[in-house]
Amino acid sequence: MDNHAQENNAMPIMDRRQLLQRCGTGLGMMGLAGLLGDQGMLASSAQADSYSNPLAPKQPHFPAKAKYVIHLFMNGGPSHLDTFDRKPFLEKFAGKTLPEGKNLRTERKTGAAFPSPFKFKKYGESGIEVSELFAKTAEHIDDIAVIRSMQAQVPNHEPSLALMNCGESVAVRPSMGSWITYGLGTENQNLPGFVAMCPGGYPVRQTQNWQSAFLPGIYQGTHIDTNHTDIGKLIENVKNTTIGKKDQKRQLDLLQQLNAAHREQRGHDPALDARIQSFELAYRMQTEATEAFDVSKEPKNILEAYGKGTQARQILIARRLVERGVRYVQVWHGQGQPWDSHDDIEKQHRKLAGQCDGAIAALIADLKRLGLFEETLILWGGEFGRTPTVELPQAGANQGRINGRDHNHHGFTVWMAGGGVKGGQVYGATDETGFKAVEKPMPVHDLHATMMKLLGFDHKRLTYRYAGRDYRLTDVHGSVVDELIA
């Protein structure tokens, strides 16, 4: 009978360095893509080598400026009418019922026209009007493309969040961040490729917002509760509380020596090599990830520019992550649906915008300073906008104060900046009331198609074979809007 013990005696035990040399140095040698069966259908240059790291950086379909995405998600649905889409019409019609046929159906009943309580002003050379809520962000308006003709499909949070994140309002589909990470990999193997920050817990629809669905699980967003300032709580298993750094290093050396001998007996096996490498990466990740989330190392002027509070901190973290090569960063405003101002919109929106306006402005300035602005595509927006009419009381639905707005999927605003976006422009328009997108209506699929283009993808060609069909983010829809691209 064979006995391992005897075989082993004949085998030299390599040290860790020798082992790693044998396993190859580059990431290209490690990891199993594991896209067996339902396998990846990345086109040409992005073709997945079945033995390459599934998160290794990959080239998109064509050269592009944008390499990273920061999605500032104002979850709950910020009012376009109180931020980036001024409607003088509402002032004229204040308190009056909108003309026949103008009040569209939304989730709840709404009544008379409700003019914005906020002051608007023209900014920059482009002279785009922005309300006082985003006065600081507006200082960068010449770098921003304001899309005023967005459209979703229904006036409810769950399907609209699904649509905005995953391009499909009902069925389970991978999120945009998962698609992009699948298509581009990520540049820093010591950090997750797709990070979804949300202070206090989960937004509505929870982890489905950053799900990988049928794409391999590694493309799923990693949720980070940015309410925590303790780094150990931010990333799972990043800290070992029972062992010192040097002792752990010694333990790892032992482990890798054992692995080396094991591998030596078995000959070529990329899966074994991949796991050996993954321990090296994990070891480095402990330091690097901790450092990436620690904003205290930022200079004082930077900290001051971003301001105080959780929003400022997480937007600054977003910059630190992008700076370190994280591919896709989502910054959710908070748990639940903070921007959902069915009541007290003036008070609520003022508070919410106050929490992030300064930090968003600082982010743009900071990315420019670091030379990252052109490589980073920023998307600001919610899952829909709000009605130009006041929401009426309904038991349990609101507090009956008659000073808020209902959801509005017929027309709303998002904006993009950086990453090759042509700034200083307004694209599309809602009707005079602000209820419905009428000029150059922009379905969410078109937004996705355009963002994909900015990242170097033909949205029709970044596909994945699943259940007998090639799926893509935009399903069978989506047109690129070239006007938005510089």
Partner 1 sequence: MLKLRFLMSLFLVLHCSVFALAEEEEFSAAQIKFFEKEIQPILVKRCIECHGEEKQENDLRLDSRAAILNGSVSGDVVDPDDVDGSLLIRAIRFQDEDYEMPPEGQMPDKEIAAIAKWIEMGLPWTKSEEPEEVPLTFDQLVEKHQAEHWAYQPVSNPAAPHVKQQKKAANPIDHFTLNRLEEKQLTLSEPADRRTLIRRATYDLHGVPPTFAETEAFINDKDPQAYDKLIDRLLASHRYGQQWGRHWLDIARYADTVGYLTGGRDTRFPYSYTYRDYVIKALNDDLPYTEFVKEQLAADYFVKEDDPKLAALGFLTVGRKFLKPDETIDDRIDVVMRGFQAMTIGCARCHNHKYDAISQADYYSLYGVFTSIEQHTPLIGNPEETPGYDEYKKQLDKFEAEVVAYDQKIYDAVIVENRTYFTDYLMRAVSKKTDVELAELEFAEMKALNIRRRVVQLWRAYLVRHAKPDNLVFSPWKLAIAIPENEFAEKYPPLLELLKIKQDEPGFIPLNPLVRQRMLEMNPKSYPEFAHVFGSLFKEITAKWVEHGANDAAKEKLTEPEQQIMTMLLLPDSPLMVKFDQIASLSRRDERNNRQPAQNKVTKHKASSPGAPAHAMAVKDLARPREPVIFLRGNAARRGDKVPRQFLQVVSTVEAPKPFQNGSGRLELAEHIISDDNPLTARVLVNRAWMHHFDNPLVLTPSDFGVRSDPPTHPELLDHLATYVRENNWSQKKLHKYIMLSNTYQQSSVDRPDARAVDPENRLIWKMNRRRLSFEEMRDSVLAANGALDDALGGVAVKILEKPYPTRRTVYGFIDRQDLPNLYRVFDFPNPDATSPQRSKTTVPQQALYMLNNEFVIEQAKALATRILEQGGKRPEMIREFYQTILQRNPTATELKLAMTFIQTAVEQREPETKIGAVHQLAHALMQSNEFMFVD
CA distance 309 to 169: 33
Q: Minimum Å distance from CB 20 to partner 1?
A: 14
How far, in Å, are 7, 249, 256, 266, 303 from residue 262 at the CA level? 11, 20, 10, 7, 50
CA distance 90 to 97: 10
- The answer to whether the CB of 70 falls within 8 A of the CB of 379 is yes
CA distance 23 to 425: 52
Which CB, 365 or 392, lies closer to partner 1? 392
Q: Angle formed by the axes of helices 245-266 and 270-292, to 10°?
A: 160
- The answer to whether the CB of 31 falls within 8 A of the CB of 54 is yes
| Burial of residue 471 (number of CB atoms within 10 Å: 0-12, 13-18, 19+) | buried
Q: Minimum Å distance from CB 88 to partner 1?
A: 25
Q: Minimum Å distance from CB 437 to partner 1?
A: 14
Which CB, 242 or 296, lies closer to partner 1? 242
Q: Minimum Å distance from CB 275 to partner 1?
A: 5
- The answer to whether the CB of 448 falls within 8 A of the CB of 472 is no
Which CB, 4 or 297, lies closer to partner 1? 4
Task: With residue 289 as reference, give the H or E element that holds it.
Answer: helix 270-292
Which CB, 121 or 245, lies closer to partner 1? 245
Q: Minimum Å distance from CB 119 to partner 1?
A: 28
Q: Minimum Å distance from CB 143 to partner 1?
A: 31
DSSP for 56-84, written as a single string? S----SS--S--EEEEEE-TT---GGGTT
Which CB, 230 or 395, lies closer to partner 1? 395
N-to-C CA span, the chain: 71
Which CB, 7 or 304, lies closer to partner 1? 7
Q: Minimum Å distance from CB 286 to partner 1?
A: 7
Residue 389 DSSP symbol: E
CB atoms within 10 A of CB 37: 7
Which CB, 208 or 341, lies closer to partner 1? 208
Which CB, 269 or 304, lies closer to partner 1? 269
SS3 483: helix
Which CB, 351 or 401, lies closer to partner 1? 401
Q: Minimum Å distance from CB 420 to partner 1?
A: 25
Residue 79: left (phi > 0), alpha (psi -120 to 50), or beta?
A: beta
Q: Minimum Å distance from CB 282 to partner 1?
A: 4
